[in-house]
Amino acid sequence: MTETKNIGETLLEYNAVREHLELPEYGRHLQKIVRHAKDIEDPAKRQEYIEVTIELMNQLLPGSKSAKDIEDKLWNHLFFIADYDLDVKVPEGVTLHSKEDIFMKPGDVEYPQKPIRYRHYGWNVHNMIEKAIAMEPGFKRDEFAKVIASYMKLAYRAWGKEQFVNDEHIKEDLRKMSKGVLDVPDDASIDMYKNITSAPANSPVSYSRKKAYKGQGGNNPGYSQQRRYNPGKSQGGGKKKKRY
């Protein structure tokens, strides 16, 4: 009983007693392969052994063949797994980095903070207003102001989830945001952009959709339906032919 237990202890190997896995994406077997290269005494055989190992590492990384710096990456990972204790020649153009450089965390990316007073309209509306202010006064700028107001109404409806929006409120916000330069008349319509999800039942678009769903037959007059050939039924009324 004691002998069987000792055999079981030698066969079973738990991760708690194994050496630390340096790069889990390559697996423990490749780590053993790299560590075995240190025991090869012949420099030529060791060099050939390592070059084959690099090819194996390249196959273990999916999508890495298209990377430009893949060779530099693989050789740095190889030396990291070998704990930088490996006497082999590195190809030209490959730069070995230290352990701290490989795992150096990038700096925090600053989020662009822009002062915006009317956040519910979005930054694009502010850019359009600045562009409209820079235009020469006239018909073109007035029409552009109506387009901006219409887009503001659409954005306000999406932000507030309101079906009905007061046009006077939108026009007043446009005057404030443009500092009085853009003024849409009270009787001007700003319903250029409507959030239409479905067409009316009597519209031509709705009729064309119904016609497309029904196909060429159905209720359309002057259409003679033809009998379709069904391979499962016999045209002469006979028995169905077996298929093998």
Are residues 95 and 8 part of one domain?
Answer: yes
**The pLDDT of residue 239:** 54
204 within a domain of the structure (yes/no): no
Are residues 97 and 124 part of one domain?
Answer: no
Retrieve residue 166's tokens: 């007061």
Are residues 88 and 8 part of one domain?
Answer: yes
Residue closest to 78 by CA, chosen among 64, 99, 106? 99
pLDDT tens digits, residue range 191-210? 876 554 334 444 444 444 44
**The pLDDT of residue 131:** 92
Are residues 94 and 15 part of one domain?
Answer: yes
Q: What is the mean pLDDT of the chain?
A: 75
Structural domains of the chain, count = 2
Across 57-64, average pLDDT: 77
74 within a domain of the structure (yes/no): yes
Give the pTM: 0.41
Between CA 181 and CA 130 the distance in angstroms is: 10
Q: Is residue 53 scored above 90 in pLDDT?
A: yes
**The pLDDT of residue 46:** 92
Residue with more model confidence, 93 or 64: 93
Residue with more model confidence, 229 or 144: 144
Are residues 97 and 123 part of one domain?
Answer: no
pLDDT category at 165 given cuts 50, 70, 90 is: confident
Residue span of the structural domain in which 166 resides = 119-177
Are residues 96 and 17 part of one domain?
Answer: yes
Q: Is residue 49 scored above 90 in pLDDT?
A: yes
Are residues 49 and 132 part of one domain?
Answer: no
91 within a domain of the structure (yes/no): yes
Retrieve residue 173's tokens: 């916000």
Residue 133, CA distances (Å) to 141, 170, 221 in order: 8, 17, 58
Q: Is residue 147 scored above 70 in pLDDT?
A: yes
196 within a domain of the structure (yes/no): no
Which of 102, 132, 151 is the last residue before a domain boundary? 102
213 within a domain of the structure (yes/no): no
Residue with more model confidence, 122 or 144: 144
Percentage of the chain surpassing pLDDT 70?
69
pLDDT category at 122 given cuts 50, 70, 90 is: confident
What separation, in Å, do the N-terminal and C-terminal C-alpha atoms of the chain show? 61
Are residues 8 and 87 part of one domain?
Answer: yes
Which of 177, 193, 211 is the last residue before a domain boundary? 177
Residue with more model confidence, 102 or 204: 102
Are residues 160 and 68 part of one domain?
Answer: no
